[in-house]
Amino acid sequence: MPAVRNPLPAKRLTVPVIAVLVSHQGARWLPEMLAALAAQTVLPLHAVGVDTHSSDGSAVLMRAALGDVLELPAGTTFAAAVAAGLAAAPASTWVWLLHDDAAPAADALERLLAADPGTVLRGPKVVDWDDPRILIEVGVSTDASGRRLTGVEPGEQDQGQHDEPRDVLAVGTAGALVRRDVWDAIGGLDVEIGMFADDLDLGRSVVGAGHRVGVVPGAVIRHARAATTGRRRTGTRAVAADRRARAYVRLAHARTAQLPVTIARLVVGALIAAAGLLLGRRPRLALDELAALRPFLRPDRLARARRRRRTTGAPDRSLLARGGSHWRLRARWPAVDPARRHGARPAQPHGARPAQRHGARPAQRHGALPGLALVAAVGVVTLVAERALLGGGVLAGGRLLPAPDSAAALLSAFAAGAPPDTGVLALLSLLLLGHAGTAVSLLVLGAVPLSAGTAWLAAGRITSRPALRCWAGATWALLPVATGGVAAGRLDALAVQVALPLLLV
């Protein structure tokens, strides 16, 4: 394959960086992106253009700005395109990954190169293409379900609140700078993943190999996110591609001891999500959720992926998102109206705030308030139904034996081989100053509002509308399984009622 010529102006300092720009139907954004590349305060040694069978003149635009352009078949993944571009370029110290719909600020490359030398994968602060005051992401993390999370709220304005450089689990591939020797050692991007979750896979591989990933907020890039916002046709459904890629990355990186649990969570979670969407008469979205099971159809690919990552260790837990942390979910695909699909920006009321202009949904504005209100309401209903307890009654009957007189008796029973829930009762009784009967009542009655809360969280996988999520939570909490569990004193059934929705969270 012939080497790619490099016609970028050589008036400024040239740095040992190979810039790889991948395009597919990107003519709408390429002129601005190419101008931003040429305006860098330091210039890459070479800039390689790779086009994946565009029909809108993208290859012509890149050829005019960069020289020779590699033209690859339609359907070539971003990872495969980058690999082809690097194969046609000379050796370098760094690789700079560029998207056709992401324009870096003039000093972006210079700031990335000047960042903490201990980081081998560095990413810029990403802002909105149309309104750079709006933050998109400042580093990337993931939760236990493999969802892509960022540290910003939807529509959040950039006021410097995230401008402290720090270590992260991953950075987006748009504008990412990675050291070439590390890239080669881990095998670069995985060509099996596609356009979604490749950044998480790359970051986890780098961290697992004992290196550091850092976000450099001083380097800024404007990103249109054309594929995920519906402004570019990709030939695949974004949600389905995301679910498949997330599942693949989770399975590829799961430690051997955790693999059975990971598989169970993936299968059960996908089936429950699909069932919920089918009940809501959304069959296409249900099929999208089932895409998480597609990696199981090619166990040979999974085996190769796991062998490739066998030497990598687990990432530092501080880099993973946890419940209650500052990370927020950003992997929800917003509804895209026709005007947005064709590039027009809808008229905005005078004085509208950025969050309103960018379509912040009610659930995003109210946060967890509807869920807390749901838990409180179901709790009140439960207490009214069992109001006899407020007068000093004690729960008993069915499979619920009378509670021992004290926490000490519960501890003794647990030590003697009683079921595990006895230990939970004992600990709760200690917190309640030894009142074992009160502990039993709290566990049994509290399971009903708790199950409403966990179902509300799980419903967020299906819809962002607070009313629908509250309906799902209340319906789940008041199913006969829950009410029958209370009536029969079935702590095991109630525990399942509370925990099952968490498989989706």
The residue ranges of every structural domain in the chain are: 364-504
Instruction: Give the residue-averaged pLDDT of 34-41.
Output: 96
For residue range 42-51, what is the model confidence (pLDDT) as tens digits? 999 999 999 9
In the predicted structure, residue 340 carries a pLDDT above the cut 60: no
Q: How confident is the model at residue 428, as a pLDDT?
A: 54
Q: How confident is the model at residue 101, as a pLDDT?
A: 94
In the predicted structure, residue 406 carries a pLDDT above the cut 70: no
Task: Let me know: does 44 contact 8? Beta carbons within 8 Å.
Answer: yes
Instruction: Give the residue-averaged pLDDT of 353-381.
Output: 62
For residue range 20-34, what is the model confidence (pLDDT) as tens digits? 999 999 999 999 999
Q: Report the relative pairing of strands 102-104 and 212-223 from DSSP bridges.
A: antiparallel
How many angstroms separate the CA atoms of 223 and 29, rounded?
Answer: 10
Where residue 488 falls among pLDDT bands split at 50, 70, 90?
Answer: low
Q: How confident is the model at residue 410, as a pLDDT?
A: 55
Helix, strand, or coil (residue 255): coil
For residue range 201-221, what is the model confidence (pLDDT) as tens digits? 999 999 988 999 999 999 999
Instruction: Give the residue-averaged pLDDT of 188-206.
Output: 88
Identify the DSSP state of 231. Answer: S
Sign of CA dihedral 17, 22, 28, 29: negative
For residue range 238-254, what is the model confidence (pLDDT) as tens digits? 788 888 888 898 898 88
> For the chain, what is the mean pLDDT?
77
Helix, strand, or coil (residue 130): coil
First to last CA, the chain: 47
Nearest to 200 by CA among 85, 303, 331: 331
Identify the DSSP state of 476. Answer: H
Q: How confident is the model at residue 174, as a pLDDT?
A: 95
Q: How confident is the model at residue 328, as a pLDDT?
A: 36
This prediction has a pTM of 0.66
Of residues 460 and 108, the one with the higher pLDDT is 108
Which spans in 141-293 are helix H?
Answer: 180-186, 198-208, 238-253, 259-279, 283-290
Q: How confident is the model at residue 363, as a pLDDT?
A: 40
Of 13-22, 293-302, 380-389, 457-466, the range with the highest mean pLDDT is: 13-22
Of residues 493 and 459, the one with the higher pLDDT is 459
| C-alpha dist (Å) from residue 168 to 85, 213, 320, 504 | 27, 6, 8, 24
In the predicted structure, residue 200 carries a pLDDT above the cut 70: yes
